[in-house]
Amino acid sequence: MGNEVILSRPTESKNHKSLHGLYRALIHNMVVGVSEGYKKELELVGVGYRAEAKGQNLEMSLGFSHEVIIQLPDEVKVETKTERRANPIITLTCIDKQLIGHVAAKIRSLRPPEPYKGKGIKFVGEQLRRKAGKSASV
């Protein structure tokens, strides 16, 4: 009986029901994070885009005039993989679901994928909405 968490709510009001579900989900995410961990993979799509992990620093070349360096929290572990003829992949692992999502979104916000060629930083497996380019007028 010592290996389970039981949540109960004082009343059946709408507010108590919603908070009950919230806390159940937060506790579930904590248990999954500690037992399995969370992993996010980001892919750099673009010519000359590269990433390199140096300790808790992530150095990226994203087509700007300068290198972009991000200091990651100690809880987040980062790995980079670069193969020939393939896009560089950044792998983030952490036990905190909220923190890893926040860090991944921060990295992605540096160069979000653009809708015409798809260049930028995207999550692995993410489906992008693509647009048609200019069409010649008749």
Run of H or E including 83: none
Beta bridge partners of 69: 59
Scored b (16 or more CB within 10 A) or e, 29-47 reads eeeebeeeebebbbbbbbe
Higher pLDDT, 19 or 137: 19
CA 135 to chain centroid, in Å, comes to: 35
- pLDDT (0 to 100) of residue 102: 97
pLDDT digit string, tens, across residues 68-83: 999 999 999 999 999 8
- pLDDT (0 to 100) of residue 135: 79
Q: Are 9 and 20 within 8 A, CB to CB?
A: yes
Q: Reply yes or no on whether the pLDDT at 65 is more than 90.
A: yes
| Domains of the chain by start residue, with CATH | 37-123 (3.90.930.12)
What is the DSSP-derived secondary structure letter of residue 72?
A: P
pLDDT digit string, tens, across residues 85-110: 899 999 999 999 999 999 999 999 99
From CA 14, how far away is CA 110, in angstroms rounded? Answer: 40
